[in-house]
Structure formats: structure tokens, C-alpha cells
Amino acid sequence: MSGTKKKNRAMTNRRMFVTMLLGSMFRRRSRVLAAVLSSAVGAATLFCLAAVCLAVPAQMSAQMRQFGANLIVVPASADSGTARIDQAGVDAATEAIASATGTTASQVSTASYRYETVRVNKSPYMVAGIDVDRVRSLNGQWEVQGDWPAAGEVLVGLDVANAAGLTVGSGVSAEYLSSDNLRLASGERAAASATAPATPSAAPTGSAATGGVNGAGGSAAGQVEWRVSGIVDTGGDEDDIIYANEGDVDALTGTADAGYDVIEYSVDTSSAPMSSIVDAAQASSDGIQAEPVSKITSGDSRIITMLDTLFWVVSLIVLALTLVGVSTTMTVIVSERRNEIGLRKALGASGRAISLEFYCEAAALGAIGGVTGTAVGYALAVAVSVGVFEQPLGFRWWLAVLAILMTALVAVIASYSPVRRASRIDPALVLREE
């Protein structure tokens, strides 16, 4: 029986506590509204910043990768005249990079380049055998006047076009000489990849390396007529190169499956650091060397670091302003309830009970402000993500819960000082003022 009485008494006390709490909040609507607005502004700002900063690094990384590859793979030995990366080496490196970034090999953006020297109007130029679709996908920043090459066509760098007097639609008579490519293999001519200088370490394999298809050293291995489909202007080393389909280069040189001189990758560094990706690619084969493209990688990392720094700086400022706003409001609320506090203490209420009531009131106001602010913050985050970064933004429930709890905690912390003073009020002094 006594247990039932205690249980009923406890329930009655809780009802009374809740009633008093709600009553104090509704009686001072203007003050409550001020505290809720202070908390809501803080929660909205924090949620918006956090949501954008969580989504933007991946988006920025993708945007940066539109400026070219951020990782290249080249043959490990530059001294070997026959060293090129075969298709098995390319597949192994791609699988390793996919594993390091948590993706599949089909999702890794890559392009391969086979370099040869051809003569156009008796002048030597570098030609790159490429998979047109892969190179076009990897280098979205390239400005191409005309079209990308189909079979029997070439994409000509601007510097080559100016030197050889070529325009879109011009015919190109290309001659392949094994002697030129033996000098290329020995290092007399450097080639540039699509994003970073790289020296092809390989001579043409097969018959080309042994004196050409016709078997005579320095003799013509092949001659073709190509049409200029477009002219590419990047302002970099790419403008010194002629780009042709892999099949056309194979037909010109008389060699197929000759391997590649440079493999380019565009990898997502937001899921894994570049150093671990490089190590994974390096470990995939003894015949390759992986190198990050510093101008892309450093830019990517710098932007993400700046965004993180901005988030923390603004977050600290917002938290400080929220603390000041809620603390000021709670100070006013406590001051207005001095007489009530004094009377309750005179009737036997403890300072702990009074403090608990005010802390609960502050937490409730903070939670209400957190819910409201989170909704507003999500709307702002979606507007920023879609309007600025052109990227849809999903709702993260864990972030919303964290924002609400953080706002409630900040409200409780902000109320500590005025509540502490309230719990120490001398009821005799308050009643004497009456």
C-alpha cells in the first residue's frame, strides 16, 4: 500500500512539475519566443553549414577532376627500350585504385595514351593513340574547335595546327619512321600527357622496334591520310600533340597491343587520401610507377581544407552568439520570476528543484528552436547546394538529431549563470521587497 502511495505521489509531483514548466513558458510568450528564435537561428546556421560542408567536398572534388586527371601511371623503368604498360598492368592498377576508393573498376575514370612520332610535311610531331570516348570524358575542360576524331580522323593541338598550317577539314599525310621512334625511346623527345608532362619510356614494339614493317632500319613503316576533325586549345602541353584513334595508330605503325606510355586517372580523394591511392596503384604491379598530379591534387585538398576551416570558424561564432542570446533571454526570465522563486523557497522548495525547472525550461526552448532551425537550415542548404553547386542534397537524419541536441545543450549551458543566481536567492529579501 505504501508503495502505491509513493508511486502516486511521484506521478503527482511530475504532473505538477510539467504543469508549472508549461505554465511559466506560456505566461511569458514574448521571452520564450526570443529564446526560441535565438536557438533557431543558431540551429539553422549550423545545420546549413554542416550539410553543405558534408556534401560539397565530394562535389568540389568532382568539379576539380573536370580539369583533368589527378593521378598518372607510367612505366617503372625509363631505361628499358621496350618497357610499356600492357593491358594486364592497366587492369591491375585500375582494380587497385577502385579498391582503395571503395568503388568498382567500371566506375574509375581513366584514359590510356600510346605515343609515337610521325612526320607531317616532313616535320616530326607526336601522335597519341587514344580511346576517344575515355579521353573526352576525362578531360571535360578541353576546348575543341570542331569535333572529336572518328576513324580516319585526328584531333590536332593548336600549336601543331599553327606550325603545320592545319585547319578543321584539312588533310594530313602522316608518315611513320621507326628511326624517329628509336630516338623517342632513347629520350631525345619528351611527350606530355593530358595533364602532366611524362616521358614515354617505350619504343615501338614488334617490327617497328627492329627496323619497321618493311625490315629496313629508318624506312617507312606506313603512310596514311587523315582528316583534321578538330583543333584542341588547352594552353598546355596538349597543344603539341596529334590525337588519333588507337586503331588508326595501330594501322600506321603495323603493331597492335603495343602497350601504353601513360595511364591517366581521375580519382575521388574525398573517400581516401591520395597517398593511399598512389600506394595501392604502385603495389598492383612491379612494372608501373604511380604519381599524383600536384596541381590538381593540391588544389582539391586546399579547397576542402578551406571549407572545413570556414565551417569551424563560422560554427564557433554562431555558437557564441547563440549562447549570448539565450543567456540574455534566460537572465530576463529569471529576473521577472524573482518573487515566484522567493515564495517557493520560503515554502520549502530547494535550490536544486528550482534549478532543475529552469534547466528543463531552457532545454525545451532549445529543442523547439532546434527543430525549427533544422527545418529552416535544411531548406537553406538545399537552396545553396542546388543554386550554387548544382548538386541535389539529401536529408541526413543523424545530422538533424545532432543539431537539435546541440542546440538544447547550448541553451542549458547559456542558462547556467542566471539559474545559478536564481537558486541562491534569499527568500527573506525577496518577501521584504514585497
Mean pLDDT of residues grouped by 10 in the chain (434 residues)? 50 52 59 80 85 70 60 73 79 90 86 89 88 87 89 92 90 78 50 40 35 37 85 86 92 85 83 83 85 60 70 79 78 73 73 79 86 91 80 84 88 82 69 56
DSSP code, position 271: S
Q: What is the pTM of this model?
A: 0.57
Q: Are 307 and 341 in contact (CB under 8 A)?
A: no
- pLDDT for 67 equals 58
Q: Determine the residue type at 296.
A: I
- pLDDT for 9 equals 47
Q: Are 166 and 147 in contact (CB under 8 A)?
A: no
- pLDDT for 210 equals 33
CA distance 175 to 153: 15
Q: Are 365 and 406 in contact (CB under 8 A)?
A: no
- pLDDT for 71 equals 84
Q: Are 361 and 329 in contact (CB under 8 A)?
A: no
Q: Are 385 and 335 in contact (CB under 8 A)?
A: no
Taking CA atoms, 335 is separated from 23, 321, 348, 369, 423, in Å, by: 17, 21, 20, 22, 12
Q: Are 218 and 179 in contact (CB under 8 A)?
A: yes
Q: Provide CB contacts within 8 A for 133, sequence distance 6+.
A: none
CA distance 172 to 174: 6
**59: phi then psi, degrees, rounded to nearest 5:** -65, -45
H or E stretch at 155 = strand 153-157
- pLDDT for 195 equals 40
CA distance 79 to 187: 9
CA distance 238 to 193: 7
Pairing of strands 241-245, 153-157: antiparallel
- pLDDT for 231 equals 93
Domain chopping of the chain, boundaries: 10-62+302-433, 69-292
CA distance 121 to 118: 10
Taking CA atoms, 216 is separated from 125, 173, 177, in Å, by: 22, 21, 10
Q: Are 97 and 267 in contact (CB under 8 A)?
A: yes
- pLDDT for 254 equals 83
Q: 108: which 3 cell numbers? A: 574509375
Q: 186: which 3 cell numbers? A: 632513347
Segments of 121-205 assigned E as strands: 123-130, 143-146, 153-157, 171-177, 191-192, 197-198
